[in-house]
Amino acid sequence: MENAGNFFVQGAQSAGEVLNRSRSVQSYQILVKLSGSLSGKVKAEQEYAQQRYGQPGFLGISPELVLARFEAKEEMEETLLRWLHRIVGQQEAFNILFNNYGSMPGYPLYLRVQDPAPFRALTEGLRVIDGLLKNNDCKTIQIFHHPRLAITSQIDKRQEMEIMLDFSGRSFREEMAVEEVLLVKTASAHSGAGIVCRLMLSPMGLKRTESISPTA
């Protein structure tokens, strides 16, 4: 019985350690939020589709461009913020153009970014974070070099062709200045979602250069 008791105590301790580890790991996204006026125009397109086709997937999806997703331990957040401020601050603010609609697996309907090159320069800089994550036994960062603005999370297969034909004939052409990105902590069983920090790019015409050291 003594051995059985020790077994259950050890099992409880192991379970507690796993739970503590899961609580300490947080999920993050690095993303670009649309400006108020542009966000309103995108939401108007979503409302049009929902009212015409009764598709719930068009509602409740936030107009945003996701640049990266990763998981990190809570105690890493201060270091991550310091690195991200340097990485993003080295990139110059830029303009993007949303030019009509597209569709592909994982993105049933999205707004196209006509030239994703400025995003590629920004997301390449985020690769530095991967070394920090790996050194702390965290998963590899997921980076999106060509972000797409999702209009819906899903489309009923029975209406897919009709909706695609409809939006292929609709026009959407809007420009936006990207001057900041957001570090957002996504909701989990142990914490709510929310903005952790706003990361400012350098003003247009003023690009800073600063080395990023793993010991910084």
- Does residue 9 lie in a domain region? no
Residue 210 lies in a domain: no
Q: Is 56 within the bounds of a domain?
A: yes
Q: Is residue 15 domain-resident?
A: no
**Taking the complete model, does pTM exceed 0.85, yes or no?**
no
Name residue 42's amino acid: V
Question: Which tokens hold the place of 192?
Answer: 């709510």
| H runs (alpha helix) in 54-188 | 77-89, 117-125, 127-135, 160-168
Q: How far is CA 20 from CA 73, 74, 216, in A?
A: 11, 11, 28
Q: How many domains does the chain have?
A: 1
Give the structural domain span for 123. Answer: 25-200
Over the stretch 62-106, which tens digit does the pLDDT of each residue have? 889 999 999 999 999 999 999 999 999 999 999 999 999 999 888
- Residue 216, pLDDT above cutoff 80: no
* Residue 216, in any domain of the structure: no
Residue 166 lies in a domain: yes
Residue 44 belongs to a domain: yes
Q: In the structure, what pLDDT confidence band is assigned to residue 210 with cuts at 50, 70 and 90?
A: low
The C-alpha atoms of residue 185 and residue 69 are separated, in whole angstroms, by 10
CATH number for the domain including 100? 3.90.1140.10
Sign of the torsion angle spanned by Cα atoms 81, 85, 91, 95: positive
- Residue 171, φ and ψ in degrees, nearest 5: -115, 135
In-domain check, residue 67: yes
